[in-house]
Amino acid sequence: MMSITDNVQSILSELPDHVRLVAAVKNRTVEEIREAVEAGVHLIGENYVQEAASAFASLGRSVQYHFIGRLQGNKAKKAVDLFDLIETVDSVKIAREIDRHAGAAGRVMPVLLEINSAKEPQKSGVFFEQAETLLREITEFGHVRVSGLMTMGPFLEDPEGLRPYFRETKACFDRLSSLSVPAAEFSILSMGMSDSYRIAIEEGANQVRIGTALFGERPPR
């Protein structure tokens, strides 16, 4: 059975140089996260603000922290304090909260727009046709910088079926980037997880969020 260290080093060795690995650490212990960091992980993806606070207390700024869960408005202040980037912005309302707290902290908060690429009603994210409007509205805020897009895609038995959703998200990324909207820099396209990151990279992802392939099956919360 391969260790976390083995898994991290194996995946890092196969990723192209331009692709960044975000270790998705939902429900993982600080000890597991530390092993991944010592093996070469530099970006930690957290779904919960409180779990990120525990990891930060142990690891400090030896790594960067990305928020990859659904952010509630009452957690925005803590998220601004802890995270280097918030990947899941899908409304003006949450962007306004981030902007308010980032302004109070004297910083500009990098964010990604979350795209609901399969238009699933139960999932967060904006549809492709709403993305430009949201981008232009968010970039009116002085303390939020849109740095790209992220998408999850639907849960499918065959990850190959995700290819069209990743492809359309890349097309959206390219279109929004070409608009040259002030206060936005389209440098990050975050797509693909443990079962689909290879396909996502083929379709243009330069950041992948991997959990199970690094840590094994996720324990119950």
The DSSP annotation for 70-98 comes to PPPGGGHHHHHHH-SEEEEE--HHHHHHH
- Cα 89 to Cα 155: distance, rounded to the nearest angstrom: 21
pLDDT tens per residue, range 38-85: 999 999 999 999 999 999 999 998 999 999 999 999 999 999 999 999
Amino acid at 43: L
Residue 159 vs residues 84, 171, 200: alpha-carbon distances, Å = 29, 19, 10
Report how far residue 126's alpha carbon sits from residue 74's, in angstroms, rounded to the nearest whole number: 21
Question: According to the model, what pLDDT value does residue 219 have?
Answer: 59
The residues near 197 (Cβ < 8 Å, ≥ 6 apart) are 205, 208, 209, 210, 213
What is the predicted pLDDT for the residue at 169?
98
Q: Give just the sign of the alpha carbon dihedral 196, 16, 191, 41.
A: positive
Listed in sequence order, the residues at least 6 apart from 168 whose beta carbon sits closer than 8 Å to its beta carbon are 117, 128
Domains, the chain, ranges and CATH? Answer: 4-215 (3.20.20.10)
Tokens matching residue 198: 């290879």
The reply to whether the predicted model has a pTM over 0.75 is yes
Q: Which two tokens stand for residue 79?
A: 């998220």
pLDDT, residue 218, reads 67
pLDDT in tens, the chain (221 residues): 789 999 999 999 999 999 999 999 999 999 999 999 999 999 999 999 999 999 999 999 899 999 999 999 999 999 999 999 999 999 999 999 999 999 999 999 999 999 999 999 999 999 999 999 999 999 999 999 999 999 999 999 999 999 999 999 999 999 999 999 998 999 999 999 999 999 999 999 999 999 999 999 865 55
Task: Give residues with Cβ within 8 angstroms of 40, minimum separation 6.
Answer: 8, 9, 12
Query: What integer pLDDT is reported at residue 183 of this predicted model?
Result: 87
CA angle 98, 21, 173 (to 5 degrees): 60
Beta bridge partners of 20: 207
